[in-house]
A and B are shown apart, each in its own frame.
Chain A
Amino acid sequence: MPNGSWKIARGKGGAQLPLAIVAVLAVVLVLIGKAQSSLFDRARAEFSDWSAPLLETVSAPVGAVSRWVDGIGGLFSTYQDNLRLKQENARLRQWQGAAIRLEAELTRERALLHAVPDPAQTSVAARVIGHSVHPFIDTMILDAGKDDGIKTGEAVVDPRGLIGRVFITGHHTAWVILLTDLNSRIPVMIAPGNAQAILAGDNTPEPYLETVSETGKVHPGDPVVTSGEGGLLPPGLPVGVLVADGTRYRVALLADAASSGEVRIVGFKNPPEQLPQVTPADLPASPLPLQPQPQPPAQLPAQSQPAAVPGSKPSPSPAPSGPH
C-alpha cells in the first residue's frame, strides 16, 4: 500500500498559509454561488462547451468497454430476450391497431367540436456526453445547445418517457436536471382521476409526490403524466407509475436515465390565450366620456343635488316630491 512503502515528504508541505487562503476562497465561492447562481451557471455553460471534446474523448473508450461487457452478458440471455421480444411485439401490434382507431376517433371528435389544436411541438435529438450521479446531484450533459435551438426549461425525453428538463444551455451543450435530482419539481397529473400533483426528486431512484390535489382519488399503479401546468412542459408526456411508499406516494419512472445514450429535447410553445373581444354590453357600467365635463353652475343650497357618480350618465332632474 502506498502510505507505508513510499517515502513520505514529512514537513515539506509548508501549506498552512496557502491552505488558509484556499479555505477562505472556497467559502467565498460557496457564498457567491448562493448569491449569484446565474454567474456560475454561465461559467458552467462556457466550461461545458469548452470541455465537450474532452468528455467525448474520455467517454468513447469507456463506453466501448461498457457496451462490450454488456454484450457479453447479453449473449447468455439471447434466447430468452428473443422470446420476450416476440411476445412484446405481438402485444404492441394489438396496441397499434387500438391506437390508430382511437386517433381517427379523436380527430373526428375534434373536428366536430372545433377544438383548439394542441400546441405544436418540435424536438431535437441529442447524445448524452456526460452523466453526473452524485449524492446530491443528478444531472446530464447533452451535445446540443443554443445553436441547435435548445432553450432552458425544455423537456428531455427518452423513448420511454420524461427524463428531466434543460436548466443550462451553452452554445453546443446543454445541462439537464433529472427528475430524481434533489431540486427537480415537475407538475404532473395522475391519469384516471386527473389529480394534479408536484413530482419532487430526492436523489433516490423514485421521486415522490410532494402535493396531491384532492380532486381525484389516486391508487398505486396509476399512470403519471406531465400536466402542463404553468406552461413549462408539454402536457401528456409519460412519466411513470404510482407506487405506494408508507404514507406517501412515489413514482416508478418509465425512463431510464442511466442507460439513455440518446435523448430528445421537446420544444414546446404554449400559444398565448386569445381573450374574447369586450363589448360595451359586457361592462358593468358605461364607459367614461372622453370630453371634459363642463363645470355645473353654482347652485343654491336649497337645490343641491347629490354628487354624480364618475362615468355615469347625467341623471334627469328629480321629480318634485310633492304637489305644488
Chain B
Amino acid sequence: MDRLFPLLGRAMAGATPFFCGVVAVALASVPVSLLGGQIPPPLLALMPVYFWCLVRPDLMPPAIAFIIGILQDLFSGGPPGVWAASFVAAYALVDRQRDSFAGLSGVGAILGFAVAMLVASATAYVIVAIYYAGFPPVGPLVMQISLSVLCYVPAAFLLGWLQHHVVGPLRSDF
C-alpha cells in the first residue's frame, strides 16, 4: 500500500497534462458562442501543450501533443491531421528553442505563446490551403490567434496552479 499510493499519484500527475488537453478540446466544442459566433473560440488545446512542453517536457512528449491534435481534428469536423500537424510544428519550435522560451517572463511569456500560436496557425493555414486548393480567409484566423493569446493569461495561471499543487508534488522526480 505504501508503494501503491505514490505510483497512483505519479500516474495521476503524468496524466494531468493530457487530461487538460482533452478537456480543452471538449470545451472548445461546447455550443456556447462568443459574441454571437462572430469570433472563433480560442485554441485552448494548444495551451497545455505549450505550457508543459516548456515546464515539464517529460510529461508532454511529442506523442501526447500529436494525440491532442488528433482529438482537436476529430472534434472540429475539419480535414484530418491539420491540427495534429500544427501542434507538432508548435511543439518542435518550443522544443528546439526551449532556452529562449524559458527565459521569458511576464509579457514575454505571453509573447512566447503568441509565437507558438502563430506557428501552429500558419501550419494549419498552409495545410488547409493545399487541402482545398485555395486560400481561406485570414480574418477569422487572426481573430482566433488574438483571442487565444488573450485567454492564455488566465489559462497560464490555472495551468501554473495545477503544476504547482497537483503535478509538482506528485512528480517531484526532477
Contacts and interface: CB of A to CB of B under 8 A. Distances in A.
B160 A133 contact: no
A324 interface: no
B28 A30 contact: no
A173 to B, nearest CB: 11
B66 interface: yes
Nearest to B141: A135
A116 interface: no
Choose among B41, B58, B75, B108 the residue with the greatest number of A CB atoms under 10 Å from its CB: B75
Contact of A9 (B28, B33, B55, B143): B55
Interface in A241-279: 256-259, 261
Contacts of A63: 30-32
Nearest to B113: A3
Interface residues of A, number: 69
Contact of B66 (A22, A203, A205): A22
Contacts of B12: none
A122 B30 CA distance: 28
B140 A58 contact: no
Contacts of A33: 79-81
B9 interface: no
Given A3-B109, A44-B74, A141-B29, A30 B98 contact: no
Nearest to B23: A58
Contact of A175 (B77, B128, B174): B77
Contacts of A259: 33, 36-37
Contacts of B159: 2
Interface string B40-66: 110000000001011111100111011
Given A30-B131, A257-B37, A62 B124 contact: no
Interface in A47-64: 47-48, 51, 54-55, 58-59, 62-63
Contacts of B124: 135-136
B31 A202 contact: no
Interface string B73-108: 011111111101100110110010011011111111
Contacts of A19: 62, 88, 91-92, 95
Interface stretch (A124-132, A301-309, A313-321): A124-132
Given A58-B26, A136-B82, A205-B37, A128 B31 contact: yes
A98 B110 CA distance: 60
Contacts of B84: 25-26, 29
A66 B141 CA distance: 24
Contact of B76 (A18, A37, A134): A134
A140 interface: yes
Choose among A1, A40, A62 the residue with the greatest number of B CB atoms under 10 Å from its CB: A1
B144 A135 contact: yes
A175 B174 CA distance: 44
Q: Which 4 A-B pairs have the closest CB atoms?
A: A4-B105, A258-B37, A33-B80, A139-B77
Given A18-B62, A32-B81, A40-B80, 11 more contacts: A6-B54, A11-B98, A18-B63, A22-B65, A27-B81, A55-B26, A55-B29, A66-B32, A128-B31, A129-B31, A134-B41
Interface of B: 23, 26-33, 36-38, 40-41, 51, 53-58, 61-63, 65-66, 69-70, 74-82, 84-85, 88-89, 91-92, 95, 98-99, 101-110, 112, 121, 124-125, 127-128, 131-132, 136-137, 139-141, 143-144, 156, 159-160, 163, 174
Interface of A: 1-13, 15, 18-19, 21-23, 25-27, 29-34, 37, 40, 43-44, 47-48, 51, 54-55, 58-59, 62-63, 66, 128-137, 139-141, 168, 175, 177, 182-183, 202-205, 256-259, 261
11 contacts: A3-B103, A13-B98, A26-B88, A27-B85, A58-B27, A66-B32, A131-B33, A135-B144, A136-B124, A140-B31, A259-B36
